[in-house]
Amino acid sequence: MPRRLFGSFVEHLGRCVYTGLYEPGHPTADADGFRRDVLALVRELGVTTVRYPGGNFVSSYRWEDGVGPVDQRPARLDLAWHSLETNEFGLDEFMRWVGKADVDPIMAVNLGTRGTAEAVDLLEYANHRGGSHLADQRRDNGAADPYGITLWCLGNEMDGPWQVGQRSATEYGRLASQTAKAMRRFDPDLELVACGSSHLGMPTFGAWERDVLTEAYEDVDLISLHAYYQPVDDDLASFLASAEDMDRYIDAVTAIADSVGAIRRSTKKIMIAFDEWNVWYQSAAPSNPPSGEDWPVAPPLLEDHYSVADAVVVGGLLISLLRHSDRVTAACQAQLVNVIAPIMTEPGGAAWRQTIFHPFARTARHARGAVLDVLRDGSTTSTDRFGEIDAVDAVSTWDDDTGEMTVFLVNRVVTTPAEVTVDVTGARLAGIIECVTVGGTDLHAKNTADGPDHAEPRPNGTARSADTGVQLTLPPASWTMLRLRATDVTT
């Protein structure tokens, strides 16, 4: 299973970078101005990759503004979020931060206001060893070694009317194809992501993917999917089942990509980068950017405070991503700090975990090795949005190196517990390592900087092991992780 499933996203948006990752003068700031308290939480979260610098921001961003002596960098208007970008933090700072956080970068290029030339310039600055103008600039700026960034996003949400430089599918597909070809002249082994639809509800969904891939099929490796979930009309049952939507979305894009491939008689398969996903209360006030004369620096934007129910949904979405890991080879929870994020900070103060931190951290730590097929056979539940669905969703992983089998489960029924038998016939079960649950109670509770931590996984004492399986009770509206010691597993 690709470890890149546990990626995250840092955009120059609100306080994600400034007073999030980066706050010189903070009591925990290191010599680079990076908050060490945030770095510690990022490592605990288990994030493997981080996409940067946007998001909508990238579509009017000039990467050159963010390199070189900091006191000479220009302040610019950020047209995406109506903010002032000081450019104190740019590519070189990000790459230093990436090294300290021990994650891999995913870099996005601006195909909104800019094009192939600037994308190739950025690639040369980042990845060429030296001896050319831009690579030598990087060296002069203190980074002697090339960054070796391998995964690149060709723009962001180029179908969206809100995107600076929105294009038609064919226009964008051609630009993505040309840019990809040019970037591959520098390095044929780059992995390149074309923009899919901004979400499943876009009126051009489907046709967009088909037309973009018709232009760029042989030039790109992945296509992006973005999805944000929130309860609609207080319909908690459908919200808890958000993974159904994610499943259907992934299956639909996979089918479209494969149909374009079949028409081209191509043996190549396009993979999926689910490079923005999360719970996001988009209708809430913190989502509205400033307007008018006001262009603030790092205003608080999209600072959703998550509930226990949101944490259960995030756990469910991770199950969907794992289930599709044969095609989804990269994913990024959006975003990492302060902006619809698992980690929150107070300027000059504490950094703390939101409820959604926990299912992500546990899944990232324990979902390892191969993803196993789980046959679900049990009761169903009825939802307004998705109709009749399995009451319990589940996926399992098996790590041959450690002999650990981990089962992730969500009970999507709001009112009743689920009695579950995890049948591991075909493997030898040697015992339960751990069984923890999030949810079941206090579904509306939210964390704050001062605690308590409502979604801290708590031991689920109901798990009982027999020779071929485990019996356990899942509380209503809950996420559970069951870790087993098992041998002789057939994958």
Instruction: Tell the smallest beta-carbon distance from residue 80 to ligand AHR (Å).
Output: 7
For residue 381, give the amino acid letter: T
Query: Is there binding between residue 418 and ligand AHR (CB under 6 A)?
Result: no
Show the binding pattern over residues 155-174: x = contacts ligand AHR (CB under 6 A), - = does not.
-xx-----------------
Burial environment of residue 307 by CB neighbours within 10 A (0 to 12, 13 to 18, 19 or more): buried
The answer to whether residue 293 is catalytic is no
- Total number of residues binding ligand AHR (CB under 6 A)? 10
Phi-psi region of 412 (alpha: psi -120 to 50; beta: other; left: phi over 0): alpha
Query: Is there binding between residue 476 and ligand AHR (CB under 6 A)?
Result: no
Dist. CA 196–CA 209, nearest whole Å: 6
The answer to whether residue 157 is catalytic is yes
Residues 10-39 that bind ligand AHR (CB under 6 A): 11
Instruction: Tell the smallest beta-carbon distance from residue 61 to ligand AHR (Å).
Output: 11
Asked if residue 392 lies in contact with residue 474, where contact means CB atoms within 8 angstroms, the answer is yes
Dist. CA 358–CA 160, nearest whole Å: 32
**Near ligand AHR by CB under 6 A, which window of 49-57, 84-92, 127-135, 141-149?**
49-57
- What are the percentages of helix, strand and coil residues in the chain, rounded to 5? 30, 25, 45
Instruction: Tell the smallest beta-carbon distance from residue 337 to ligand AHR (Å).
Output: 12
Asked if residue 249 lies in contact with residue 200, where contact means CB atoms within 8 angstroms, the answer is yes
**Near ligand AHR by CB under 6 A, which window of 52-60, 229-237, 428-436, 458-466?**
52-60
Show the binding pattern over residues 218-247: x = contacts ligand AHR (CB under 6 A), - = does not.
------------------------------
Query: Is there binding between residue 276 and ligand AHR (CB under 6 A)?
Result: yes
Asked if residue 158 lies in contact with residue 165, where contact means CB atoms within 8 angstroms, the answer is yes
| Residue 424, C-beta contacts closer than 8 angstroms, at least 6 positions apart | 405, 468, 469, 470, 484, 486, 489
264 token code pair: 């081209």
The residue from 87, 320, 335, 465 that contacts ligand AHR (CB under 6 A) is 335
**Within 202-345, where are the H helices?**
207-216, 236-240, 242-263, 308-323
The residue from 334, 351, 435, 474 that contacts ligand AHR (CB under 6 A) is 334
The residue from 19, 48, 49, 56 that contacts ligand AHR (CB under 6 A) is 56
Catalytic entry in 157, 209, 244, 404 = 157
| Closer of 227 and 405 to ligand AHR (Cβ) | 227
Handedness of CA 424, 377, 367, 104 (dihedral sign): positive
C-beta nearest to ligand AHR: residue: 55
Catalytic entry in 85, 118, 209, 276 = 276
| Closer of 256 and 339 to ligand AHR (Cβ) | 339
Rg (CA), the chain: 22
Instruction: Tell the smallest beta-carbon distance from residue 20 to ligand AHR (Å).
Output: 13
Binding site for ligand AHR (CB under 6 A): 11, 54-56, 156-157, 198, 276, 334-335
Active site residues: 157, 276
